[in-house]
Amino acid sequence: MTAQSTDPVDVRLADCNRCRHRDTLLPDGKCVPGDVCLMAKSGRQIDRFLGRNPEFAEACLRDAFWERRAIAARYAPLDAVKKMQRDQDEVVRRVVVSRLPVELLGEYLRDPDREVRMTVAERIAPEKLTSLISDPDYLVRLQVAKRLPHGQLPRMAHDPDREVRKAVARQLPSFALRPMACDEDVEVRRIIASRMLPEDAEGMLSDTDWLVRMEAAKRASLEAITRLVDDCEPDVCSVVHRRLNGFLLEDEHD
């Protein structure tokens, strides 16, 4: 039988003679050999089948083939997904945690698969994210830093990964950034300098990185930035002169 889909036909054909749906679904076009098939070893075919016939998904949640279980978990009723035992395959667990209510995600906080934990970190209630602050994988911690309540964020200010610290620097309120001003990474300091309170930014005007000094010069007081009028970097001098000249012009206008 010729596949009726406009997409390329998958050559992995299941044996229709051994399929229990041959006499019920095939005549009605609800399955198409090589294209829309539950029994094929093809995720694409299985997905098309269950998308067309979602009533069969629940029965596949305990199937021996991991990909069939994973796809079935997308289409099965939520009540059935809730009752699934913890699957041995990480792909199946990723689908499950993407569908479970947030209050049921706690048992997956220590899942061995980082993408499962990342999905949990994206969905779990923010107040429960503290369990993942010290996760061994930086991508999980990065997701945590993006959602953690401000009161808990300082605990991640010294994370060993700079991408996590950059996320913390972007999320912390301006008044809480001063303790991170001496971060060893230039990119982290640039973010901090661009967001600090004016009185705190003054302390970064002597930073060894000229981009940090430039960001600090945009925020520090006019009196403080006068020390940079002759900075060795032209772009820093330009920012300083624009601010000082702007102040002088406003003063003359008044």
Asked whether residue 14 carries a pLDDT value surpassing 90, the answer given is: no
pLDDT tier, 24 (very low <50, low <70, confident <90, very high otherwise)? confident
Residues 91 and 173: their CA atoms lie apart, in Å, by: 37
What's the confidence (pLDDT) of residue 31? Answer: 84
Asked whether residue 3 carries a pLDDT value surpassing 60, the answer given is: no
pLDDT tier, 60 (very low <50, low <70, confident <90, very high otherwise)? very high
pLDDT tier, 28 (very low <50, low <70, confident <90, very high otherwise)? confident
Tens-digit pLDDT profile for residues 240-252? 999 999 864 444 3
Mean pLDDT, rounded, of the chain: 90
Asked whether residue 77 carries a pLDDT value surpassing 70, the answer given is: yes
Residues 56 and 30: their CA atoms lie apart, in Å, by: 12
Cβ(169)–Cβ(190) below 8 Å: no
Asked whether residue 1 carries a pLDDT value surpassing 70, the answer given is: no
Better-scored residue on pLDDT, 25 or 187: 187
What's the confidence (pLDDT) of residue 247? Answer: 65
What's the confidence (pLDDT) of residue 12? Answer: 62
Tens-digit pLDDT profile for residues 82-91? 999 999 999 9
What's the confidence (pLDDT) of residue 13? Answer: 72
Going by the DSSP 8-state scheme, the letter that residue 30 receives in this structure is S
Q: Give the pLDDT mean for 224-237.
A: 96
Lowest mean pLDDT among 37-51, 87-101, 189-203: 37-51
Asked whether residue 10 carries a pLDDT value surpassing 80, the answer given is: no
Q: Give the pLDDT mean for 208-223.
A: 96
pTM over 0.95: no
Ramachandran category for residue 29: left, alpha or beta (phi over 0 → left; psi -120 to 50 → alpha): left
What's the confidence (pLDDT) of residue 20? Answer: 76
Better-scored residue on pLDDT, 32 or 184: 184
Closest CA to 194 of 209, 156, 249, 158: 209
Tens-digit pLDDT profile for residues 115-127? 999 999 999 999 9
